[in-house]
Amino acid sequence: MADPTEAQILRALATLADPDGGGDIVASGRVGGLSLRGGKVAFTLAATPETAPALEQLRAAAEAAVRAVPGIVAVTAVLTAERAAPAEPAAPPRLLGQIGAVIAVASGKGGVGKSTTAVNLALSFRAMGLATGLLDADLFGPSLPLMLGIEGQPEEAAALQPVYRHGLACMSLGFLVPPDAPVVWRGPMVAGAVEQLMRDVAWGPLDVLVVDLPPGTGDTQLTLAQRARLAGAVIVSTPQDLALIDAAKALVMFRKVEVPVLGIVENMSSYVCPNCGHEAHLFGHGGARAEAERLGVPFLGEVPLDIAIRQGGDEGNPIVLAQPDGPHARAYRAIAEKVWAEVAPKA
């Protein structure tokens, strides 16, 4: 059977009238971000806080209409409702409340090794015997599929099923949107997608969920802080001044939204030459420890710059699994133990 085309999908969606008028939902401009690959479709439906509850029905109807197109194997429609207001008596219940501890891994700046830290921390929690999940909430550059070597797509039953890999329950927008599809979304759309990833995934009973955030202090961070019950945030930084300044900004943001900062990890702390064993401090050293002291948050530990860590990430075999008895796995486990000691009493 030939692969379904975008035109077929739009035709199926155009059979649904827009509840706000303006014709069908395609003509009214409600449908956006359509991506299609090998029978897998993802698209967004624009919403406002007022219309969001009613649009949940429309979302289900839109998914059903597209699912009926011959050759379609999976459909994900994301409601792009505006962020919910901060918790008030009438606010909806916090999401992910069934999970023991939701731990966000954040950084002020991109490329400092946040995803690498999130993946290896999650695997360390798993090695400690905790039922662990990993949510890749970096909608603009999801890296979980690559780092864990996952190629499949989540199963869609009544709820979205996590993909299980190395004993972790995993979910990433990267599973749903083709890697080459540019995700150009506005703030409210981001908030809607993050909320849906938190709400619609059948995580099952988990002791801990590690959330890999995008860098910086944007809509994803705010949505998560406002809509989920977060045990705290781990901030990753390299020792460089610039990365540290940005890490401090991230820390201030979490404090503003009343999310406890569990501590700072210094990544790429030193470089050990694989040939001669000489240890060099390419980006300086100890900056994150000093910054943590200055800001009054725990220093969780340091991880050196080592080609084995990068290779592990790029080959879907993170270092904690690839060299479980090596110094890097020990460093990650020590960090995970410190974090767990902080959150376990409340989990």
Ligand X SMILES: Nc1ncnc2c1ncn2[C@@H]1O[C@H](COP(=O)(O)OP(=O)(O)OP(=O)(O)O)[C@@H](O)[C@H]1O
> What is the binding site for ligand X (CB under 6 A)?
107, 110-116, 138, 141, 143, 215, 267-268, 303, 305-306, 309-310, 313-314
Structure tokens at 157: 């039953």
Give me the least distance between CB of 48 and ligand X, in Å please: 30
Question: Which residue in the block uniquely carries the two structure tokens 């991109």?
Answer: 110
Q: Which residues are annotated binding-site positions for ATP?
A: 108-115
For residues 129-149, one letter each, b for 16 or more C-beta atoms within 10 angstroms of the residue's C-beta and e for the rest, the string is ebbbbbbbbbbeebbbbbbbe
Give me the least distance between CB of 89 and ligand X, in Å please: 36
Q: CB-wise, 49 or 111, nearer to ligand X?
A: 111
Q: CB-wise, 119 or 201, nearer to ligand X?
A: 119
Q: CB-wise, 202 or 272, nearer to ligand X?
A: 272
Structure tokens at 257: 């939204």
The strand ranges marked E within the chain are 31-37, 40-46, 74-80, 101-106, 132-136, 163-165, 168-172, 208-212, 232-237, 261-272, 279-280, 299-305
Give me the least distance between CB of 212 and ligand X, in Å please: 7
Structure tokens at 51: 């219309």
Give me the least distance between CB of 146 and ligand X, in Å please: 9
Give me the least distance between CB of 11 and ligand X, in Å please: 37
Q: Which residues are annotated binding-site positions?
A: 108-115
Q: CB-wise, 39 or 316, nearer to ligand X?
A: 316
Following DSSP, what letter does each residue of 277-302 receive, concatenated?
--EE-BTBSSHHHHHHHHHT--EEEE
Q: How far is CA 114 from CA 208, 211, 266, in A?
A: 18, 10, 10
Q: How far is CA 24 from CA 31, 48, 78, 197, 225, in A?
A: 10, 18, 18, 27, 35
Dihedral (CA of 154, 156, 157, 158) sign: positive
Q: CB-wise, 25 or 121, nearer to ligand X?
A: 121
Measured CA to CA, the distance from residue 260 to residue 203 in angstroms comes to 23
Structure tokens at 333: 């486990």
**244 and 291 Cβ atoms separated by less than 8 Å:** yes
Structure tokens at 100: 């023991």
Measured CA to CA, the distance from residue 328 to residue 311 in angstroms comes to 13
Give me the least distance between CB of 50 and ligand X, in Å please: 34
Q: CB-wise, 188 or 318, nearer to ligand X?
A: 318
Q: CB-wise, 260 or 271, nearer to ligand X?
A: 271
Give me the least distance between CB of 237 and ligand X, in Å please: 10
